[in-house]
Structure formats: C-alpha cells, structure tokens
Amino acid sequence: MITKIIAHRGASKLAPENTMYAFELGYKLGAEGIETDVQLTKDNIPVLIHDETVKRTTSGTGYVKDYTYEELSKLDAGSWFSPEFRNARIITLEEFLVWIKPKDLYINIELKNNKIDYKNLESIVYNMLKTHRLLERTTLSTFNPNSVKRLVTYQNNIEIAFLTSKKYPNLVEYARKLGANALHVKYRLVNQQLMEQAYEKNMPVRVYTVNKYKPMMHCFNQGCDGIFTDVPYKALTFRKVFQYKKKL
C-alpha cells in the first residue's frame, strides 16, 4: 500500500492557504489529493477558509459567519503571504469542486464546525458533492463528534473521518461508535497498535500535518493511507527515498 500525498490547504508552504494559487500549485507539483476547510457565510454559502475569523489570512476582520459571500469575495486573501498573491480571494466550495472534478485527485473536505457548529453545514456540503458527482472520491472530516453522527445517514456513499489529536483508550472503536469509517489523526498518535486496530476494522488512517523527513518516514513505514502536508513536493521525494530503501 502506497501512502497518498495530500496537499494540506493546497501547497500552503508556497502559496496562500485555501486559495486557487495553493490548489493549482499542489496539483502541478504532483500531489495526489487536496485537503481544504469549509465554513458557511451569513447567506449560507460554503466557502474555503480555515479560521473562524478572516483576520489572519485576509485584509478583513471579524467572523466568516457575519459576512455575505459577496462581502467576503472583496477581501484580499493573499497579500498576508506575499505581495505577489494580492489578487487571491476566498473561493466558494462550488468553485473548488468545478476546478477539481476533471482532475484525478482525492478530495478531503474538513467541516470547520468544532468551534461554531454551523446549522446544516453537513447537508449543504453533501448535496453539493452529490450534485457534482464527487461523493466517491471525497472524505468529509470533522473534529466535532456530533457532526460525525449527523453524517452517518450519508455513510453508504461517502467516507466520514473523525479528526482528533487526543488519545483514547481505543480510538478506532470510539470513532466507529460515532459512525466514522476513517480516522484522521495527529502524527504523535500513530503507532503500530493503532494501525493494526484500524486495519482490522478496514478503517483508513491519514495523518496531519506532516512536513518533515522523519515523521514522513514513520508514516510510510507504518502504512498510513495518507499524509496531509504543506510541502507535497518534499513528501513525494521522501516517499521515493522510502520506497528505494525498502527495496535494498
């Protein structure tokens, strides 16, 4: 099994996260999947941004939920990273899905509802994926256990991942009881026991956010299904090194 390299918020070490610049760059650099974050605007438009507020990554201030999409779209979402990206803007989930559909890329959409539990976020995102016929190659992930439970009704045709950085006595069983059929975990939680338990239950394990050589090698060695990385170009090189060493 080859560990999939997933561009975390796009190639976010080289371009402003969750913008078309980062997604395009991740794709061109050879990433096998794209991870992004979704929240809802005041007028219930799903948009791609990590923080609940716009302050860190745009020219604005305040909460995403208090802006209409038209207002959000006018913000500069790139100059904070570098002046060359001053034309970057917050994009909608729909724009992203139209862009990614013809490309052979795995999709991970993190529902950012652990701090603000957006009403109907699950159904809005699910129905948009269904409309674009992208359910089969998409994982919906969330830190929010209640959100996992709400997603269970869609489980027959979409992968649901429980996201966590916390230790549990039996994380695989906990996630399964919630209704998840995949696990996305922080690097320090990855060990042989977790991988064996997940394999036994046919539960994919993907790891965030892995940017350095040793942690990547550990994930490859443990047989993780995927890693989320800000540096997909490095991850692809290191995976080749791992595969070469394995043949020796």
Catalogue the active-site residues: 8, 50
Whether the CB-CB separation of 23 and 224 falls below 8 Å is answered with no
Query: What token pair was written down for 37?
Result: 């974050």
Alpha-carbon distance 138 to 73, whole Å? 25
Nearest to 75 by CA among 108, 41, 99, 106: 41
Residue 237, class by beta-carbon neighbours within 10 Å (0-12 exposed, 13-18 middle, 19+ buried)? middle
Q: Determine the Cα–Cα distance for residues 185 and 148; give it in Å rounded to an integer.
A: 15
Could you tell me which residues are beta bridge partners of residue 194?
A: none
Kindly state the tokens that stand for 41. 């605007």
Structure tokens at 220: 């490859």
Query: What are the residue ranges of helices labelled H in 76-178?
Result: 93-100, 121-131, 145-151, 171-178
Helix, strand, or coil (residue 213) = helix
Rounded Cα distance, 140 and 126, in Å: 9
